[in-house]
Amino acid sequence: MSNPDELPQGELLRVEGIRKTFPGVVALDGVDFDLRRGEVHVLLGENGAGKSTLIKMLSGAYRPDAGRIVVGGEEVRVHGAQDSERLGIATIYQEFNLVPDLTVAENIFLGRQPRRFGLIDRKKMEADAAELLERVGVSVPPGARVRELGIARLQMVEIAKALSLDARVLIMDEPTAVLTSEEVDKLFAIVRRLREDGVGIVFITHHLEEIAALGDRVTVLRDGKSVGQVPASTPEDELVKLMVGRSIEQQYPRERPETGEALLRVEGLTRDGVFHDVSFEVRAGEVVGVAGLVGAGRTEVVRAVFGADPYDKGLVKVAGAELRRHDVNAAMEAGIGLVPEDRKGQGLLLDASVAENLGLVTLRGATRGGFVDLKGQQEAAARVAGQLGVRMAGLHQHVRTLSGGNQQKVVIGKWLLAETKVLILDEPTRGIDVGAKVEIYQLINELTAAGAAVLMISSDLPEVLGMSDRVLVMAQGRLAGELPAAEATQDAVMALAVSTPTSTTTTEVEAPRGH
């Protein structure tokens, strides 16, 4: 095989004219892409643009119908993960490929454990693992069980595993999607070190601000085609235009209708050791954003409001009527809906169809004498899917096969079908591309224009500021403050998010009665 140093500009990898079709779908249509030694090449595109299909070609999960893959100057066939590893290509997916009950060292060298006298040499394995972990800058004992680690450390273990394979090409699929800003900084430092070591990195992200901070070049995919290759310094507006084929004039198109009565009122909600004395209200026609650092208690509070988790004190009222505690059915009957942070694990039945998922909430009401009104459910699902613009082969398509943005539309759609009064959105656009985000924001506008109330948790601070009429800020399990849209700046929110609130220091701002 040729030495990459002898190739033009140190080329490590090139794909030419790659085409891949599935029944009824052209996933990739003549895609070109190349990667050089010691660069971060960002692969950008909306959900469904073909990014995942392309990286599965390189990792051996799929085989191309046409085109060729060139590694180190020679055309290759990648028929599986072993071929990919032999070629020096390692892939870190969003869903980590680690065995929870094995140790860190065992995961790093799984299937390749060093042996002595025919037995696994645990001492050498743990010493080698320790060197790799030190190289990626993470302090984890090689003998620790993987299930004991948080998301950020799991990711570092995956990177250490890739380095153990002597990977020259590292593919990272949405590596920052579930990391805090501090964890992202640490990850970026590791990526930069790998780049200095000559590793070529394919970096997939939906966070446009990360591109200029880390990338060298950007290849944009749209509808299965490569539509442009540009420098990482390209302005975000131009990147968005390449991705979606149109310019997005306003990233957060919030329309602020007149607000009405308080549809949701939370008073003194407390769960010992988790959150304390949380009180707020959300009015008809209003979007109330909930900001705060990871661990501030935001998700725990809204799960308690929805009845999914218990609480010790306080009360929840919907349209003036008090809800029974820890009773999801009562919350749903009162008109509360929850779009959870983990849409795949908690919001969808992945192996069920689009129609079946859309009908989950209304199934009980559509059942008479033990029989489900299937025709009525199907018609209602078709209407909502059309209203939301769900891109699918048909209502029969399994939700698992939809893009992230379309999966999220289905999660929201089931609550639309139930005519929900109060919709709680927990990280509604996480892992969703720019074009799909704007569609979700427009949907939020339609909901509030129709008189619904929306409570939105997001770790994307610009999103909170752009879409909220008021912002609640949580810190250490308490409500640290409340800001009207006009006063909610990044600095003001972060100042509250890092504060140490007490029951006597919470900032109270009167909720607006209209606009």
| Confidence at residue 368, expressed as pLDDT on a 0 to 100 scale | 55
The answer on 114 and 171 residing in a single domain is yes
Look up the domain containing 483 and give its range.
261-498
The answer on 291 and 156 residing in a single domain is no
pLDDT mean across residues, the chain: 85
| Confidence at residue 246, expressed as pLDDT on a 0 to 100 scale | 60
The answer on 457 and 326 residing in a single domain is yes
82 in helix, strand or coil?
A: helix
What average pLDDT does this structure show over 469-491? 92
Asked if pLDDT for residue 497 goes beyond 70, the answer is yes
Q: What pLDDT, in 10s, does the model give residues 345-363?
A: 888 888 888 888 888 767 6
The answer on 265 and 380 residing in a single domain is yes
**What is the reported pTM?**
0.61
The answer on 237 and 129 residing in a single domain is yes
| Confidence at residue 92, expressed as pLDDT on a 0 to 100 scale | 86
Give a yes or no: residue 1 inside a domain: no
Give a yes or no: residue 514 inside a domain: no
| Confidence at residue 261, expressed as pLDDT on a 0 to 100 scale | 94
| Confidence at residue 87, expressed as pLDDT on a 0 to 100 scale | 92
Give a yes or no: residue 4 inside a domain: no
Give a yes or no: residue 506 inside a domain: no
CA angle 187, 191, 197 (to 5 degrees): 145
| Confidence at residue 212, expressed as pLDDT on a 0 to 100 scale | 92
Specify the DSSP element, H or E, that contains 36.
strand 25-36
Asked if pLDDT for residue 515 goes beyond 70, the answer is no
Asked if pLDDT for residue 431 goes beyond 90, the answer is no
What average pLDDT does this structure show over 295-317? 94
The answer on 268 and 196 residing in a single domain is no
Residue, of 310 and 343, whose pLDDT is higher: 310
Domain C-terminal end among 182, 215, 246: 246
Quote the number of domains for the chain. Answer: 2
| Confidence at residue 58, expressed as pLDDT on a 0 to 100 scale | 93
Asked if pLDDT for residue 221 goes beyond 80, the answer is yes
The answer on 171 and 28 residing in a single domain is yes
The answer on 287 and 213 residing in a single domain is no
CATH number for position 312: 3.40.50.300
Phi, psi of 224 (to 5 degrees): 80, 5
Nearest residue to 460 via CA among 486, 425, 487: 425
What does the alpha-carbon distance between residue 486 and residue 500 come to, in Å, rounded to a whole number? 24
Give a yes or no: residue 512 inside a domain: no
Out of 153-157, 240-244, 282-286, pick the least confident: 240-244
| Confidence at residue 96, expressed as pLDDT on a 0 to 100 scale | 77
What does the alpha-carbon distance between residue 174 and residue 181 come to, in Å, rounded to a whole number? 14
| Confidence at residue 494, expressed as pLDDT on a 0 to 100 scale | 85
Kindly report the number of other CB atoms within 10 A of residue 459's CB atom: 18
Q: H helices then E strands: how many in the chain?
A: 16, 24
The answer on 412 and 460 residing in a single domain is yes
**Banded model confidence at residue 234, pLDDT cuts 50, 70, 90:** very high
| Confidence at residue 28, expressed as pLDDT on a 0 to 100 scale | 93
Share of the chain above pLDDT 70, in %: 91
Give a yes or no: residue 510 inside a domain: no
Give a yes or no: residue 320 inside a domain: yes
Question: Can you tell me which residue has the tokens 């909170």?
Answer: 464
Give a yes or no: residue 309 inside a domain: yes
Q: What pLDDT, in 10s, does the model give residues 53-98?
A: 999 999 999 999 999 999 988 999 999 888 998 999 998 887 778 8
| Confidence at residue 504, expressed as pLDDT on a 0 to 100 scale | 42
Beta strands in 462-502 (DSSP E): 470-475, 478-484
Q: Are 45 and 54 in contact (CB under 8 A)?
A: no
| Confidence at residue 236, expressed as pLDDT on a 0 to 100 scale | 84
The answer on 394 and 452 residing in a single domain is yes
| Confidence at residue 512, expressed as pLDDT on a 0 to 100 scale | 35
Residue, of 411 and 313, whose pLDDT is higher: 313
77 in helix, strand or coil?
A: coil
